Amino acid sequence: MQIEPFQHEFERVQTDLAAGPILPSVTVEEIRGYLTDRYQFQKELPLDEVVQDAERMLRTWQVQVTHPRYLGLFNPAVTLPSVIAETLVAMYNSQLANWRTSPAGNEIERHTLGWLAARFGLPAESIATFTSGGSEANLSAVQVALSHVFPEYGERGLRGLPAAPCLYLTDEAHHGFNKIAHTTGLGRRAVRTVETDRRLKLDVDSLRRRVRRDRADGWAPFLVVGSAGTTATGVIDPLPDIAQFCREEGLWFHADAAWGGAAVLSPALKGHLAGVEHADSITCDAHKWFSVPMGCGMFFCRHRESVARAFHADVTYVSGAQSGPVFNPLTHSAQWSRRFIGLRLFLALANLGESGYAAMIEHQTRLGDALRRALAASGWQITNETPLPLVCFTRERLDPAAFLVALHRRQIAWMSEARVNGVPVVRACVTNFRTTETDIHEIVEGMNQLWQEGAGCA
């Protein structure tokens, strides 16, 4: 593969997107009508024509999450090496269900995950797998924790347990755990919401009271989720205190570091994740702050045997002799057929190095600080506290929903709405290593102009 033409095309697309609109103006009827008129799949079409048309649709009919003024959810700009990795994986169509089918792919993933596990402070015997995203990683954590705490769970199910299990998190934690409770059969009522302190961090005293009350009522507490960068406000829970409490009470400690986990590569930020090294399991998404394409999550666990117990499978049609100790993802993860997910992160790490990644992360963190300062200087009120580049803000008489409509219509930036202590606010998160301080100041100037014009004023 020749890199130079690929790089030229990649940079062309990024330049075009940066100069264009952030979000589209299109109706569902317009898109459906266009597809119906052109694509009935009754005749062969030239590939060049179809590819160019598909790119045009993507360029004009979606929110451009790689735009430097996209300050929305955790959808980053992507690095060139990770895009090349996607092409290589599709070209060779590697199948990573078992080691024998793709020795190279499996060993590249083992090497990459082992390196990152060490950065999290996990012991060498820990195990890790790539996942489709944070939801699968969090689901894996709950499944493995159930198998670890209740050895009979795998064979007898929840009905075979002496008491109903329950898990603990704050209302700031990812709401996907409600789906996970449904999927695993725990039931959504098994999810216990723990109070937070004034900074929206999990309150360990509240956790202690709730666990004691549940045990007295006949429940079986088994897992506590500590967030390392919540979705709405970027809060990092008191991970050392949660770890200590879980050790004392015999509970599984899961650290959901889907976004904030990348901070372990930054000398300036990794101290904020102190305590994550004591977690029984960790979720981290490379497709968030590691800036690789979507669908690249990671699940880390210090209990290798419990992972094997939760996901074991006895099959003959994928067997085959191989030399030395090997790792078969199908017997250690929820997935069976497995795409070569990890090449995206491997190529990016190999190209940029740890210091290059740290520089990217710290650049975005500085822009988050610049955004806070510029907003505060302009009369906006910052409503969250986090060392990460996520800023929630408001001002007197602001209607965030109406303000965001005007912000998006004017194509100033893309931001989202969040709730802080139940109050709607505007949420901005720097997710793009291409964003500059000039972008930040021009965005704030644009917002100030909108406010002066009365946009979003309740």
Q: Per the structure block, which two tokens stand in for 2?
A: 């020749």
Q: Is the pLDDT of residue 324 over 70?
A: no
| Distances 251 to 122, 244, 313, 390 between C-alpha atoms, Å | 18, 10, 27, 31
Percent of the chain with pLDDT over 70: 98
Go through the domains of the chain in sequence order and give each one's CATH number.
Answer: 95-339 (3.40.640.10)
Report the C-alpha dihedral over residues 85, 89, 94, 96, rounded to 10 degrees: 50
What single string gives the DSSP state of each residue in 267-301?
A: TTTGGGGTTGGG-SEEEEETTTTT---SS-EEEEE
What's the pLDDT tens digit per position in 123-150? 999 999 999 999 999 999 999 999 999 9
**Which region among 121-125, 247-251, 325-329 has the lowest average model confidence (pLDDT)?**
325-329
What single string gives the DSSP state of each residue in 148-161?
A: HH-TTHHHH-GGGS
Mean pLDDT of 358-375: 98
pLDDT value at residue 310: 94
What's the pLDDT tens digit per position in 185-223? 999 999 999 999 999 999 999 999 999 999 999 999 999
Identify each DSSP E strand in 67-189 by its residue range: 127-131, 165-170
What single string gives the DSSP state of each residue in 206-267?
A: HHHHHHHHHHHTT-EEEEEEEEBS-TTT--B--HHHHHHHHHHHT-EEEEE-TTGGGGGG-T
Q: pTM for the complete prediction? A: 0.95
Task: Return all residues near 248 (Cβ < 8 A) that are at least 6 apart.
Answer: none
Do the Cβ atoms of 276 and 264 come closer than 8 Å?
yes
* Residue scoring higher pLDDT (3 or 434): 434
Residue 321: pLDDT band (50, 70, 90) is: very low
Mean pLDDT of 335-352: 95
The one-letter code for the residue type at 401 is: A
- Which residues does residue 228 pair with via DSSP β-bridges, in sequence order? 236
Nearest to 340 by CA among 35, 158, 128, 129: 129
- The 3-state DSSP composition of the chain as helix, strand, coil percent (nearest 5) reads 45, 15, 40
C-alpha angle 209-229-450 in degrees, rounded to nearest 5 = 120
Residue 5: pLDDT band (50, 70, 90) is: confident
Count of residues making up the chain: 458
Do the Cβ atoms of 392 and 231 come closer than 8 Å?
no
pLDDT value at residue 153: 94
What's the pLDDT tens digit per position in 281-306? 999 999 999 999 999 999 999 999 99
Report the mean per-residue pLDDT for the chain.
95
Task: Return all residues near 338 (Cβ < 8 A) that are at least 6 apart.
Answer: 95, 96, 97, 130, 329, 330
Neighbours of 301 (CB within 10 A): 28
Q: Give the DSSP H/E element, type plus range, for residue 308.
A: helix 304-311
Q: Is the pLDDT of residue 316 over 70?
A: no
Nearest to 244 by CA among 212, 201, 198, 204: 204
What's the pLDDT tens digit per position in 37-90? 999 999 999 999 999 999 999 999 999 999 999 999 999 999 999 999 999 999
Do the Cβ atoms of 323 and 160 come closer than 8 Å?
no
Q: Are strands 252-256 and 165-170 parallel, antiparallel or unpaired?
A: unpaired
